[in-house]
Amino acid sequence: MSKPSSVTHFRSGSRLLAPTALAVAILAGCSGAPPRTDSSTVQPVLTAQAAPVADVLEPQSQSWSGPIPIARLVAAAEASHPTRAAIAAAHAAAAAQVRQAGAWDNPELELSLGRTRPRVEDLERDRPYGGSLSQRLSWWGKRNARVAAARARQQVAGAEAQVALLGLRADVRRAAIQYAAAIDATTQSEEEARIAAELATMTETRAAVGEADRSSVARAKLEATTAALHRDVRRREAATALAVLRTWCSPALPDNLVVADAFTDATAVTDAASLAQAAERHPQLRALAEVAAAAEATITAEREARLPDLTIGIFADREAEKDTYGATLGFEVPLWNRNEGGIAAAEAAQSQARATARAERLRLQRDLAEALGAVQTAQGEATALREQAAPVADETIRLRTTAFQTGDASLADLLEARRAANAVRAELRDARRRAALALVDLGQAVGDPTVGLAPAEAPRP
């Protein structure tokens, strides 16, 4: 009977007068159950982590009336976005790899059927047949190391899931802030267009009674037309921002959606020391640490893989005048392959994971410094504009409007005051938007997506 060249077999046999029944029993043994994997060596699948994809993508019926906090938009995105389904699939795949790592090798069944052609005339021809059944057995430590490496990769999948959720939450917050800023700009531009139209009408009325010239009428009409164009542009920008937000959260978001807490006038507490400590617990660093641990477990598994496996089996052969049965014992001879390449690759992967972790820690430190500076700068600018520049601009408009109505100020003076006030409002709106976005960047740098949000408004974990 033919055997693999890499396995050395030792056969011991004896002759029997009636081996047919024994051979049948040996071949029938193949239909038995294969060796079972010890259930204690396989980590069970977490039902919460490996939820069916259909359940993850199930849309939730909810009402979007009234002011909506960002936390609710984030929760809707987590429930319906394909990222959650991808995370569940990654958990299921990692758990399946653990089960596969603990599985036994399948038994091998060989059947033989031949025909003899005697070289002596007085001998009859024969059709010998037989069969063998063998089972490959891995050393216990080798199998345990393989299962441990698979479990380490399962931990990597869990850590990477947290990184993916952190990015999803940050993206949703950014989209909500951009939409809220676009709505604020649209509201301001609509008010400016309304006032510009009223001013144009007032100028025409004054020109009709001889209190204004035609150049003032033309200038007022130009101002109204420009304000209307700006209003239309802001409306399109708001519609685009809403369309982007719908792709993250839900197509059911209404056209008049109001985000409740996109901006805050309160200065966020930004303690550099506590933020740096929080950054050390960043999910990305944990994921890279799990990658390094998985590489270490893989190195152990590759080293254990050098140990030769045993193959045990039984056989039975029938010939014309004899029946033979016996047992076989085989093992690999590690002559050409000692798994040096696999060990070296695993060690290189571990070195790469450690270097990547150091580089990622430096990147997070840079991101933290940049985000912290951006938050402090934008919040300081917004505070100064809100408390100092905006009141002066509003008072200037009020005085110039009164003077224009009484004839003490020209149209040019009024328009100049309005442009200056509008510029202050635009700068304030942009500073608040930049401060909110910088808080999102700060939360992503420290691994806490709730930075800048009240505790009651924090998204679910």
- pLDDT of residue 264 exceeding 80, the answer is no
Stronger pLDDT, 15 or 186, i.e. the higher one: 186
The full length of the chain comes to 461
Considering the domain boundaries, does residue 131 fall inside one? yes
> Which residues are registered as beta bridge partners of 16?
323
| CA pair distance 68, 63, nearest whole angstrom | 10
**Chain centroid offset of residue 140 CA:** 36
Please indicate, yes or no, if residue 119 is contained in any of the structural domains.
no
- pLDDT of 433 reads 92
Percent of the chain with pLDDT over 90: 33
| Cα distances (Å, whole numbers) of residue 62 to 84, 175, 249 | 19, 20, 12
Contact by Cβ (8 Å): 445, 371: yes
Q: What value does the mean pLDDT take over residues 422-442?
A: 91
Residue 118 lies in a domain: no
Q: Determine, yes or no, domain membership for 344.
A: yes
Give the closest residue to 289 by CA, choosing from 364, 354, 366, 363.
354
Q: Is the dihedral of CA 194, 197, 201, 206 positive or negative?
A: positive
**Count of the separate structural domains present in the chain:** 1
In percent, the amount of the chain with pLDDT more than 70 equals 82
β 258-259/67-68 pair status: parallel
Residue 65 in domain: no
Q: CA 310 to CA 397: how far, in whole Å?
A: 92
CATH code (residue 451)? 1.20.1600.10
Q: Assign 270 a pLDDT band (cuts: 50, 70, 90).
A: low
In the predicted structure, residue 359 carries a pLDDT above the cut 60: yes
So what's the pLDDT on residue 269? 59
Residue 28 confidence (pLDDT): 37
DSSP calls for 90-119 = HHHHHHHHHHHHTPPPPPEEEEEE-----S
For 144-184, the pLDDT digits (tens) are 898 999 999 999 999 999 999 999 999 999 999 999 999 99
DSSP per-residue letters across 388-414: IIHHHHHHHHHHHHHHHHHTSS-HHHH
Cβ atoms of 375 and 438 closer than 8 Å:
yes
Cα(16)–Cα(326) distance, integer angstroms: 11
Give backbone dihedrals phi and psi of 45, rounded to 5 degrees, phi first.
-80, 130
33: in domain? no
Domain-embedded: residue 238: yes
Domain containing residue 331: 7-26+75-113+126-456
Q: Give φ, ψ of 151 to 5 degrees.
A: -65, -35
- pLDDT band for position 334 (cuts 50, 70, 90): confident
Does residue 357 or residue 125 have the better pLDDT?
357
Mean pLDDT of the region 422-429: 90
As a whole number, mean pLDDT of residues 69-96 equals 91
**Quick check: 30 pLDDT over 50?**
no
- The predicted model scores a pTM of 0.73
Residue 276 pLDDT greater than 50, yes or no = yes
- The distance from CA 190 to its chain's CA centroid, rounded to whole angstroms, is 40
**Total Cβ atoms within 10 A of residue 201:** 13
Residue 247 included in any domain: yes
* End-to-end Cα distance, the chain: 62
Burial per residue of 74-90, b for 16 or more beta-carbon CB atoms within 10 angstroms, e otherwise = bbbbbbbbebbbebbbb
